[in-house]
A and B are shown apart, each in its own frame.
Chain A
Amino acid sequence: MKGASEWDRHAPSSAPNPRHTRYHPRWHRERIPIFWWVGHRRYTLFILRELTAVLVLYSGLLLLAQLVAIGRGPESYQAFQGWLAEPWVLALHTFVLLGLIFHTVTWLNLAPKALVLRVGKIRVPPRAVLVGHYLAWIAVSALVAGALVWVAG
């Protein structure tokens, strides 16, 4: 790299560009790396956010499996519960849970952008929409958890 002081003003700094034609310079296009989202914090977060969809798929499949186990009778249900309690499975599911919470947070934070609510003529401030979503999350969670615990109890 040359500092400004050593920079020769008039001599071309390198050999002429073979692809350049007078009056028609060659515009330069940066190539995009395949893993363009690696090494940029925000883009990596974006890809992680998108990949939480895999956790949603997994959760759906797990729920289905659990339903199958319930349908097959008490033994298979017990076996399934036993599998769930195995340490590595539990560890995996704790990780899944964290991922799902990440999904929820990113989803709810973005939702007010798409949703424009109005009361009369005035637009509900996005902040209020956001708070509303979080309240809904708390309510639904309480309902789901409460119901399940009630069934258990």
Chain B
Amino acid sequence: METVTHDVLLVGGGGAGLRAAIAVAEHNPALRVGVLSKVYPMRSHTVSAEGGAAAVIRPEDSLDAHAYDTISGGDWLCDQDAVELFVEEAPREMLRLEHWGCPWSRNPDGTIATRPFGGMKTERTWFAADKTGFHMLHALFQTTLSYPPVSRHDEWFATRLLVEDGRCYGVTAIDVATGKVYAVLARSVILCTGGGGKVFPYTTNANIKTGDGMALAYRAGAPLKDMEFVQYHPTGLPFTGILITEAARAEGGWLLNKHGYRYLQDYDLGEPTPEPVKRAMELGPRDRLSQAFVKEMEKGRTVASPHGEVVHLDIRHLGADVIDAKIPFVRELCLKYEKIDPVEELIPVRPVVHYMMGGIHTDLNGATPVEGLYAAGETACVNINGANRLGSNSLTELLVFGARAGRAAAEFAEADGDPPQAILAQALDEEGRIIRDILGPRRRGKERVAPVREALQETMEAEAGIYRDEEGLRRGLDRIAELRERFARISLDDRSQTFNTELIQYLELENLLDVAETVLESARERRESRGAHQRTDHPDRDDDRFLAHTLCHRNENGEPRIQFEPVTITRWPPAERVYGS
């Protein structure tokens, strides 16, 4: 078995991973940084983010206001020390990206332009037309090319964390092109593997968002935090799940039911006005809007479509000029993927899974309880997103906590020694599992990857969707157990070692199963309703018992175990979330 060695290893080449890589290189140019990613970095899912990234830059805005919007938006589950640090470092990080060439949209005087966004009281979302994530990712990727210490393993798939005595020394990874398994060793490892929206069937997330890093960390002994909080975005296209950015509503779009009525006014989200009002109606937070959709559906006021019930997003009144200037990608996507022109027609939309608030439990520096193991980005949970992430906070989070994790991991790598020999035994074991057990000729069974994955996704939509209850969650957990048995009987069509994408799908499915189980178990234990987690059997928020994070550990026997940890409150005592006034 061959080994590759770095000082700091990044698993994941999305926004968080690349930002962390640059942070390491800037902290100490002598450190060798490896970026290992299952797709070429510029294919990472950060590329799809449209709307923008929040940071206080306008003089009339304030850090406290940003913090308050974030905390109230997160239904007081955010750790407030983390949020304070986040809003404070956000503007510098965003400016740094400007200095690296990101083509932010501008005001006529040449300063950075900002737009309003759901749940934000004022315009503080920076944007690059409606391809913000695309431009951020490409600017970051191109900038990493200027740092010689950063080397990459493109299209390598990490399969396991190498942990000895509670200390992480690297990963095993498959070079997809050759099928060769490597031990990739490092003094510190940062997981930046993104979210896991693919545990659900309808999602804005790319095919590659399978929660790999979460599952890897979970199996290696790091707990997953607040996994029950799954964000549905209220405006996805019905068949593909493609996202119609919140910016469409920020610019003044309306949500209409089948009677052409702006139904959000019936759900404590304020009065309809012709102009958009921040934190009201269509600019309310995502959880509330998605929940309102379900209620409308129950009242029979949604519209039937070939791909299930939908409501309509109306941006016709904005006119072609505004649409083309501010949200051209919305028009492009509608024309391309729905064959409708939003300048003249209504856009059919439904809530689709968008983001996982939960993730690998880390401290403010991205450190996980496993020594030498760090995490940042969507895969981590610091926690600034609480029970419901505000749109445009995530891209900024990638930068702030990517950079922090990078610096912390660099310092750790400077201080600490090299991997023990014993670690190689684990790597050899993993190589054997892949080459011999999964690809080997002995493996026989009737199951295939896709049906098991689909069954999993359907289970999650049915039992852990926008509304949940005890019975459904239990049913879901039972189904996972069945699916694990089916998984064990999967036999691959493809036993090749050359670019075997079926093998990758198989390994991803294994990760999806773990992530799904933690979502169900955490949701079952949280017997209250808060933000994106709504229990019909416990409809109210219960601060006495659940002003706490769920930490989901993996038991010796592989089962999830929940533990609660209190939320850090600094200056904003829990209050009621009020929108529309």
> Do A23 and B179 touch (CB < 8 A)?
yes
Contact partner of A23 (CB less than 8 A), chosen from B180, B441, B495, is: B180
Which residues of B in the span 46-70 have a Cβ within 8 Å of any Cβ on A?
Answer: none
> Do B493 and A23 touch (CB < 8 A)?
no
Residues of chain A contacted by B495 (CB below 8 angstroms): 10
Residues of chain A contacted by B441 (CB below 8 angstroms): 10
CA distance A10 to B494 in the complex (A): 8
> Do A22 and B497 touch (CB < 8 A)?
yes
Interface on chain A toward B: helix, strand, loop, or mixed SS?
A: loop
The verdict on A82 contacting chain B, using a C-beta distance below 8 Å, is no
The verdict on A25 contacting chain B, using a C-beta distance below 8 Å, is yes
The verdict on A24 contacting chain B, using a C-beta distance below 8 Å, is yes
CA distance A23 to B439 in the complex (A): 14
The verdict on B111 contacting chain A, using a C-beta distance below 8 Å, is no
CA distance A22 to B441 in the complex (A): 16
Chain B nearest CB from A4 CB (Å) reads 11
Chain B nearest CB from A5 CB (Å) reads 14
Please tell me the size bucket of the interface on A. under 10
> Do B178 and A9 touch (CB < 8 A)?
no
Pick the most buried of B177, B493, B498: most chain A CB atoms within 10 A of its CB: B498
Residues of chain A contacted by B180 (CB below 8 angstroms): 23
Residues of chain A contacted by B498 (CB below 8 angstroms): 25
Chain A nearest CB from B282 CB (Å) reads 35
Which residues of A in the span 12-47 have a Cβ within 8 Å of any Cβ on B?
Answer: 22-25
Residues of chain B contacted by A10 (CB below 8 angstroms): 441, 493, 495
> Do B493 and A24 touch (CB < 8 A)?
no
Pick the most buried of A9, A23, A24: most chain B CB atoms within 10 A of its CB: A23
Chain B nearest CB from A133 CB (Å) reads 27
Residues of chain A contacted by B179 (CB below 8 angstroms): 23
Interface flags for B440-462 (1: CB within 8 Å of A; 0: not) read 01000000000000000000000
Residues of chain B contacted by A9 (CB below 8 angstroms): 493
Residues of chain A contacted by B177 (CB below 8 angstroms): 25
Which residues of A in the span 128-146 have a Cβ within 8 Å of any Cβ on B?
Answer: none
Chain A nearest CB from B116 CB (Å) reads 29
Interface flags for B150-182 (1: CB within 8 Å of A; 0: not) read 000000000000000000000000000111100
Residues of chain B contacted by A23 (CB below 8 angstroms): 178-180, 497
CA distance A23 to B498 in the complex (A): 8
CA distance A81 to B495 in the complex (A): 78
Residues of chain B contacted by A22 (CB below 8 angstroms): 497
Chain B nearest CB from A21 CB (Å) reads 10
> Do B493 and A25 touch (CB < 8 A)?
no
Interface flags for B468-496 (1: CB within 8 Å of A; 0: not) read 00000000000000000000000001010
Closest to A26 in B: B498
Residues of chain B contacted by A24 (CB below 8 angstroms): 178
Residues of chain B contacted by A25 (CB below 8 angstroms): 177-178, 497-498
**What are some 14 contacts across the A-B interface (CB < 8 A)?**
A9-B493, A10-B441, A10-B493, A10-B495, A22-B497, A23-B178, A23-B179, A23-B180, A23-B497, A24-B178, A25-B177, A25-B178, A25-B497, A25-B498
The 5 closest A-B pairs by CB, nearest first: A25-B498, A23-B180, A23-B178, A9-B493, A25-B178
Not counting A9-B493, A23-B180, a sample of 12 additional A-B residue pairs whose C-beta atoms are within 8 angstroms of each other reads: A10-B441, A10-B493, A10-B495, A22-B497, A23-B178, A23-B179, A23-B497, A24-B178, A25-B177, A25-B178, A25-B497, A25-B498
Measured CB to CB, the residues of A under 8 A from B are 9-10, 22-25
